[in-house]
Amino acid sequence: MKALKILFADDDLKYSMLLKRFLEAEGYEVTYAGNGRIALEQFPAVKPDLVLLDINMPELNGFEVAEHIRALDRNVLLFFLSDRSDKADRLKGFDLRANDYLAKPFYPEELLARIRERFQCGDDMVQTEMYSFGNTVFNYTTNEIRTGNNKTLITSRQAEILRMLAKNVNVSVDRDSLLNKVWGASSYANSLALNVQISYLRRALRNDNTVKIDSLMRKGYMLREDS
């Protein structure tokens, strides 16, 4: 079995060594970088499947490292691990096409669960979860939507929504089911957030005129595929 390769950048050495040993005990191959510059230098050689980035690091902060990495590789998964939990920081992280954002402190088991959710290891390689509809291929593992030569990266939350819709092409998905699955509750605020995320997904799918996300009165949403 191929070990999942992780590049982990954080300037807190004591904390980092504990998390590194935890991940290695789970069978992952972890390369540690003590600051952003070192992480960026190591990236081409390590060729990681996943990058874990702190934000407050010397020389290059996590946002700067993520921007450089995305210029080199649009597909590698990238998680921010940071004590900066403000909404503005989270939004900036996702604007840089991060796949996840965990606010410190968090349980190592929570990180492990999120990694396992993204990667399903087979006998020879890391396998991906993919969906095909219309002229589009959606890679849930990497949050990538591909239509012809056009590629779009979406956030993890948008990927969860699209995954539910893609599993039920041409079938309505109940609004409360989406809210409970993605946000954990069907509150008014979460309902408004769902509306916003659906609008982003429609924009992400604009290159494929054979598919459309329909709003269904009092029912929810449907990913419609034209025959």
CB 198 within 8 A of CB 213: yes
Q: What percent of the chain is predicted at pLDDT more than 70?
A: 95
User: Encoding tokens for residue 67?
Assistant: 């921007």
Above 80 in pLDDT, residue 79?
A: yes
> Per-residue pLDDT averaged across 201-223, rounded?
92
Kindly report, residue by residue over 11-43, the tens digit of the pLDDT.
999 999 999 999 998 889 999 999 999 999 999
Quote the pLDDT of residue 84.
Answer: 82
Backbone angles phi, psi at 184, to 5 degrees: 90, -5
Quote the pLDDT of residue 227.
Answer: 61
Kindly report, residue by residue over 174-192, the tens digit of the pLDDT.
999 999 888 888 888 888 9
Rounded Cα distance, 47 and 227, in Å: 40
Kindly report, residue by residue over 129-179, the tens digit of the pLDDT.
788 999 999 988 778 898 888 888 888 788 889 999 999 999 999 999 999
Quote the pLDDT of residue 62.
Answer: 92
Which residue, 136, 154, 130, is CA-closest to 210? 136
Q: How many CB atoms lie within 10 A of CB 70?
A: 16
Domains located in the chain, CATH noted: 5-121 (3.40.50.2300), 128-225 (1.10.10.10)
Kindly report, residue by residue over 102-134, the tens digit of the pLDDT.
888 888 888 888 888 777 644 444 456 788 999
CB 178 within 8 A of CB 221: yes
Quote the pLDDT of residue 63.
Answer: 93
The Cα-based distances of 161 to 67, 78, 107, 130, 134 in angstroms read 25, 19, 25, 14, 17
Which residue, 148, 142, 147, 180, is CA-closest to 161? 180
Which residue, 193, 188, 203, 212, is CA-closest to 154? 203
* Angle in degrees, CA 122, 124, 128, rounded to 5: 50
> Per-residue pLDDT averaged across 51-80, rounded?
91
Please report where in the chains the tokens 């095909």 appear, as a residue. Answer: 132
Quote the pLDDT of residue 123.
Answer: 41
